[in-house]
């Protein structure tokens, strides 16, 4: 047997060698846990399509955030589910709205241990379920929505959110929110721009999680899944507008976009492993078809390898515990 003496298997001969040459690492501090809090609950309610994930009461939310902090998770991203909705999404910038109240609670409880973050979008708060307000013809009105986002940003910053997750996909949202925050002295509030957020079928379970009122789709503002260049362009524009971090979402079906965004911008790039990604692995594992823990860790490592500096994942606390052994 003769072949050019390039023996790549030498690098794989033992766990110790493999550990020395592994290119990508995954650490608890790279993980962000999304959390749902629902107004009026006295105890947590399970989400059927996301086994193991719940809509939290304020008390169970506090406990989950403390767990995450103790496991070494880098941050929590909070989503609010209000009891009442209207066309303008009034609950979003009401200081007594569930998201802002919960933010105050978490900022006080775990604000020193991890980064308390809030989703900045109107969809949970509008009675039509869109991410913005509508014009007379029922279309999502970009510039009118920016006025609402600016107000929401101030409410969240005042409640103690350290990082705002701009997930609405309106043009100009980063610049308008940055200006509104700076004008009120919130110059340290971080902006995470969901730059390349695709109109994806993998958000299905999330819509149950937030009790979404949406009929139709978000294709006039979220990206077409066929477009990689356009996703990169969104990230470049958001960086120019002043985003501190950009996001690619979903993660696993868009790893090529993630890699290209990472290679293009100079700021941190995060990825969101969304509800459908979670549900698929949980369902397959529950059937005994894949190894749950190994699949979860491999999925997270792969998202890091593709270029994500941090990953939003519903498994953040579990994964952090496993990683710490
Ligand atoms: C919308 C929003 C979505 C998710 C988070 N915020 C998607 C959508 O409804 O279009 C999805 C998250 C997930 O699926 O885990 N603001």
Give CA–CA dist 319/294, Å, rounded.
Answer: 10
Burial 120-158 (b: 16+ CB within 10 A, else e): bbbbbbbebbbbbbbeeeeebbbeebbebbbbbbbbbbb
- Name every residue whose Cβ is closer than 8 Å to that of residue 167 and which is 6 or more positions away in sequence: 119, 120, 121, 131, 194, 197, 247, 249
Residue in this structure with the two tokens 């110790």, named with its chain if needed: 16
pLDDT in tens, 253-300: 999 999 999 999 999 999 999 999 999 999 999 999 999 999 999 999
Domain boundaries, the chain: 27-324
pLDDT in tens, 70-129: 999 999 999 999 999 999 999 999 999 999 999 999 999 999 999 999 999 999 999 999
Give CA–CA dist 135/8, Å, rounded.
Answer: 61
Among candidates 282, 270, 273, which has minimal Cα distance to 300?
A: 273
pLDDT in tens, 42-70: 999 999 999 999 999 999 999 999 999 99
Count of beta carbons in the 10 Å neighbourhood of residue 172: 14
Report the pocket of ligand 1 as residue ranges, CB < 6 Å: 119, 121, 123, 131, 167, 203, 206-207, 218, 274-275
> What pLDDT band is residue 187 in, cutting at 50, 70 and 90?
very high
- CATH topology (fold) of 27-324: TIM Barrel (3.20.20)
197 carries an active-site annotation: yes
Ligand 1 midpoint to CA 203 (Å): 6
Ligand 1 midpoint to CA 21 (Å): 36
Residue 126 DSSP one-character state:
B
Ligand 1 midpoint to CA 206 (Å): 6
Global confidence as pTM: 0.97
- Name every residue whose Cβ is closer than 8 Å to that of residue 189 and which is 6 or more positions away in sequence: 153, 157, 161, 162, 163, 164, 181
- Name every residue whose Cβ is closer than 8 Å to that of residue 140 and which is 6 or more positions away in sequence: 130, 131, 132, 133, 134, 170, 220, 221
pLDDT in tens, 6-27: 899 999 999 999 999 999 999 9
Q: Rg for the chain (alpha carbons), in Å?
A: 20
Residue 297 DSSP one-character state:
H
215 carries an active-site annotation: no
Give CA–CA dist 114/225, Å, rounded.
Answer: 33
In the structure, how many helices (H) and strands (E) does the chain have? 11, 10
Residue 72 DSSP one-character state:
T
């Amino acid at each position: 047997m003769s072949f050019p003496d390039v023996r790549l298997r030498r690098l794989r001969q033992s766990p110790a060698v493999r550990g020395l040459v592994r290119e990508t690492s995954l650490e608890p501090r790279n993980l962000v846990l999304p959390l749902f809090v629902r107004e009026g609950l006295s105890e947590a309610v399970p989400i059927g399509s996301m086994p193991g994930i719940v809509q939290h009461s304020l008390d169970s939310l506090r406990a989950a955030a403390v767990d995450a902090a103790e496991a070494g998770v880098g941050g929590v991203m909070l989503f609010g589910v209000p009891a009442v909705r209207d066309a303008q999404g009034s609950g979003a910038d009401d200081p007594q709205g569930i998201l802002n109240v919960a933010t105050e609670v978490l900022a006080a409880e775990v604000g020193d241990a991890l980064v308390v973050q809030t989703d900045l979008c109107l969809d949970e708060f509008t009675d039509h379920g869109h991410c913005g307000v509508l014009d007379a013809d029922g279309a999502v009105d970009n510039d009118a929505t920016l006025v609402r986002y600016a107000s929401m940003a101030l409410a969240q910053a005042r409640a103690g959110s350290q990082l705002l997750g701009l997930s609405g996909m309106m043009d100009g949202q980063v610049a308008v929110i940055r200006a509104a925050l700076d004008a009120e002295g919130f110059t340290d509030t971080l902006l995470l721009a969901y730059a390349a957020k695709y109109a994806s079928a993998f958000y299905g379970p999330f819509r149950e999680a937030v009790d979404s009122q949406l009929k139709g789709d978000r294709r006039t503002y979220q990206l077409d899944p066929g477009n990689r260049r356009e996703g990169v362009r969104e990230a470049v524009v958001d960086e120019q507008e002043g985003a501190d971090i950009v996001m690619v979402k979903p993660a696993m079906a868009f790893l090529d976009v993630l890699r290209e965004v990472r290679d293009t911008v100079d700021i941190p790039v995060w990825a969101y492993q969304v509800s459908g990604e979670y549900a698929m692995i949980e369902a397959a594992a529950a059937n005994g078809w894949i190894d749950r823990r190994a699949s979860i860790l491999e999925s997270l490592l792969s998202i890091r390898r593709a270029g994500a500096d941090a990953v939003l994942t519903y498994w953040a606390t579990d994964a952090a515990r496993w990683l710490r052994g």
